Amino acid sequence: MDLNYTDEQKAFRQEVRSWLEKHVPATPLPSFDASREGFEAHRAWEQVLAEGRWGMVTWPENYGGRGLDLIQWLIFEEEYYRSGAPLRVNQNGIFLLGPTLMEYGTEEQKARFLTSMASGDEIWAQAWSEPQAGSDLASVRATAVLEGDEYVLKGHKIWSSRAVFADWAFGLFRTDPASQRHKGLSLIFFPLNAPGVRVQAIPQIDGETGFAEIFLEDVRVPAFNRLGGEGEGWNICMATAGFERGLMLRSPARFQVAARKLVDLYKAHEGEVEPTVRAAVLQSWMDAEAYALSIYATASRLAAGGHIGAEASTNKIFWSEMDIAMHKAALSILGARAELLRSAPEAGDIGRWLDGYFFSLAGPIYAGSNEIQRNIIAERMLGLPRA
């Protein structure tokens, strides 16, 4: 065990830091879920990142990456959040689909999709859930019928993050109409501007249109757009979910920076708040540190050839509950000012905490509800019997 960065790792941190200091936009970009303008501003930022080859540092060089290991990825993320750089509009692509493509895609598919993903030229949305397939994702009904060398897609997808403005989506489709449950599903990509695709925005609690429903009416895509074999969609999808929950979706730096801001907020209002708030602030810092240490332990294990297992589920529960607790602590510090919208003349920076609180409420739901995660922990980690 060695909890010291090597000189090489320290130098890498400096390199990331100085690049970000030069390139991070001075003023925050408008939300990528609220307007086309905000979305495109974020795409432009992705392109700046890609020009510096910072789009996805763990990817191989031929797909626009730097071939770095997970510890270096953590260092990159630490500097990224420290710098206040924009959120990653292509997170569905780079953090979820990207690693899966790397593992299951053919060389042709990787060449076609990974490079344009890393460059920000194609922004991805996910299309997994359906009105009748939420936590019970295996009851997907959308179909893909092979006609020649094309699939014809039909169905109704919902809760698709980024779908309003994104270019592409990946989703689960039933390729074997006679199949039941997990069998007969395939993972297929489709352009969101293809004929027969209709995207309907769904306003969220905060009023932004962060997700959408997608209606597919005889949408034709080449069979090339299927990732993995026909009928292998479920297993591939679970691998994606593992990455999402496990490591990449919520890097620890995000919460460590939030904890630092929370401590600053507390210090600014120290005399006005009750002692329980102080304890909550300290707990938030401790939880963010615990999450970071846990991810360092996982990254060290993966670097030595280990695999991510049910800890993907423990991570997801931990960060989503921590995120809510942090924002609740912030709102209690703000007291009666907490309800101010960003547009209020006296809101200043306050609105960020309210926005963050609303977003944190989605954490225990998306990427597999925390109830499902608890089932996974109970069954796969603790060995309790299935219902």
Partner 1 sequence: MDFRFSEEQTMTADVVRELLTDVCQPADLRRLMGEGAARDEGRWAKIVEMGLAGAMVAEDKGGLGLSAIDFVQIAEACGYAGLPEPLVENAGVALPLLAAFSDNSRAAALLERALAGEVTVTVAHPANPFVADADTAEAVLIVRDGAVHLVETASVAIVAQPSVDPFRRLFSVAFEPSAETLIASAEDAATPLAAAFDRGALYAAAQMQGIAQRCVDLGVAYAKERQQFGKPIGSYQAVKHHLATAQVKIEFARPVLHAAAAQLEQGDLYSRARISQAKLACADASDVAARTSIQVHGAMGYSWEVDVHFFLKRGIALTNWWGGNAFHRERVAARVFGAALGPEHTFAREAENA
By the criterion CB under 8 A, which residues form the site for partner 1?
1-6, 9, 13, 71, 77-79, 81-82, 252-253, 256-257, 259-260, 263, 267, 278-279, 281-282, 285-287, 289-294, 296-297, 299-301, 303-304, 311, 314, 317-318, 371, 373-375, 377-379, 381-387
- Pairwise CA distance, residues 191 & 153, whole Å: 12
Closer residue to partner 1, CB minimum distance, 220 or 260: 260
Q: Is 244 a catalytic residue?
A: yes
| Residue 4 beta carbon to partner 1: minimum distance, rounded to whole angstroms | 7
Least separation in angstroms between residue 41's CB and partner 1 is: 25
User: Distance (Å, rounded) from C-alpha 303 to C-alpha 311?
Assistant: 16
Q: Which is nearer to partner 1, 217 or 371 (CB)?
A: 371
CB 153 within 8 A of CB 215: no
How many other CB atoms are there within 10 angstroms of residue 124's CB atom? 28
Nearest-approach distance from CB 82 to partner 1, in angstroms: 6
| Choice among 77, 78, 213, 244 that is catalytic | 244
In whole angstroms, how close is the CB of 294 to partner 1 at the nearest point?
4
Shortest Cβ distance from residue 267 to partner 1 (Å)? 7
Neighbouring CB atoms inside 10 A of 136's CB total 12
Using alpha carbons, select from 38, 128, 132 the residue that is nearest to residue 92: 128
Report the nearest approach of partner 1 to the CB of residue 343 (Å): 29
Do you know the residue count of the chain?
Answer: 387
Distance CA 170, CA 190 (A): 6
Q: Kindly state the tokens that stand for 26.
A: 């001075």
Nearer to partner 1, 212 or 292 (CB): 292
Contacts 24+ apart (CB under 8 A), 261-267: 262/326, 262/329, 262/330, 262/333, 265/330, 265/333, 265/334, 265/353, 266/329, 266/333
Helix, coil or strand: residue 180:
coil
Joined together, the tokens standing for residue 53 give 């080859």
User: 158: helix, coil or strand?
Assistant: strand
Phi, psi of 202 (to 5 degrees): -120, 110
Query: Closer to partner 1 at the Cβ: 339 or 371?
Result: 371
- Give whichever of 1 and 336 is closer to partner 1, judged by the CB atom: 1
3-class secondary-structure state, position 257: helix
Smallest separation, CB 2 to partner 1 (Å): 5
Distance CA 142, CA 129 (A): 10
Structure tokens at 106: 């053919």
**Identity of residue 20:** L
Q: Which is nearer to partner 1, 204 or 294 (CB)?
A: 294
**230 in helix, strand or coil?**
coil
Q: Give the residue numbers annotated as catalytic, written as ranges.
A: 244
